[in-house]
Amino acid sequence: DIVMTQSPDSLAVSLGERATINCKSSQSILYSSNNNNYLAWYQQKPGQPPKLLIYWASTRESGVPDRFSGSGSGTDFTLTISSLQAEDVAVYYCQQYYNRVTFGQGTRLEIK
Amino acid sequence: EVQLVESGGGLVQPGGSLRLSCAASGFTFSSHWMSWVRQAPGKGLEWVAYIKQDGSETHYVDSVKGRFTMSRDNAKNSLYLQMNSLGVEDTAVYFCARGYTGFVFFDFWGQGTLVTVSS
């Protein structure tokens, strides 16, 4: 199985500052035939189900603010929030769908 | 409006069984892979299983293989998870999730149903 490892486990960022969350897969999740990275990012707030933010590593889901962006390829990926807002406090998960499904352990994002 | 509503959770003793259901509405259910994802209290997300659009293919996380069976009824727009030989490690909120067309990342999620395995 593909193991997804996120870093850091928790992060505190000041309002308006940039937040960066990393995700590393134990093997490449780049599918060579279509050049797509099979990686998604989710946001989960307390008491709510997860919400899809990003798929194909960098495609923003409809309705997601453009301060959220995804990047990376192969085994190393990043979710960036360009200017942190109070409503962005949540746990963030990466997920690979290259070979079955696995999630990262989550990164808790708080306000400094 | 897309809706996924889980039901069937509750308290069950170790070794017992439970059947979860997920009622889908607001989209063409038969066009989507569907999945169950669980979350133990205070823990992260764990994928449990997913099923192909026509029900011909299912995949499970190793920890539930042989104990859990996922199925669907496209005529009823419903998804199921039969859980047998439950252990305390299966205690979690179980979410029903819709796969993005043709793929298994998840664009809509239900609110979840809590399964508690305890004596």
Residue A91 CA to residue A105 CA, distance in Å, equals 10
pLDDT 10s digits, B32-44:
999 999 999 999 9
* Residue in this structure with the two tokens 């590593």, named with its chain if needed: A57
Instruction: Determine whether the interchain pair B47/A102 forms a contact, defined as Cβ–Cβ distance below 8 Å.
Output: yes
Number of A–B residue contacts, CB under 8 Å? 57
Mean of the per-residue pLDDT values of chain B: 97
Of B61, B104, B107, the CB nearest to A97: B104
What is the nearest CA distance from A40 to chain B, expressed in angstroms? 7
pLDDT 10s digits, A39-95:
999 999 999 999 999 999 999 999 999 999 999 999 999 999 999 999 999 999 999
pLDDT 10s digits, A15-50:
999 999 999 999 999 999 999 999 999 999 999 999
Lowest mean pLDDT among A2-6, B6-10, B103-107: B103-107
Instruction: Determine whether the interchain pair A103/B50 forms a contact, defined as Cβ–Cβ distance below 8 Å.
Output: no
Average pLDDT of the segment spanning B22-27: 98
pLDDT at residue B101 in the model: 81
Instruction: Give me the phi and psi of A86, to 5 degrees please.
Output: -60, -35
On the question of pLDDT at B24 being above 90, the answer is yes
What are the CA-CA distances from residue A88 to residues B82, B87, B108 (Å)?
36, 35, 19
On the question of pLDDT at B102 being above 90, the answer is no
Residue B117 CA to residue B119 CA, distance in Å, equals 7
A16 CB-near residues (< 8 Å, 6+ apart): A83, A84
Of B50, B103, B110, the CB nearest to A49: B110
Of B44, B50, B59, the CB nearest to A93: B44
Instruction: Determine whether the interchain pair A44/B110 forms a contact, defined as Cβ–Cβ distance below 8 Å.
Output: no
pLDDT 10s digits, B46-65:
999 999 999 999 999 999 99
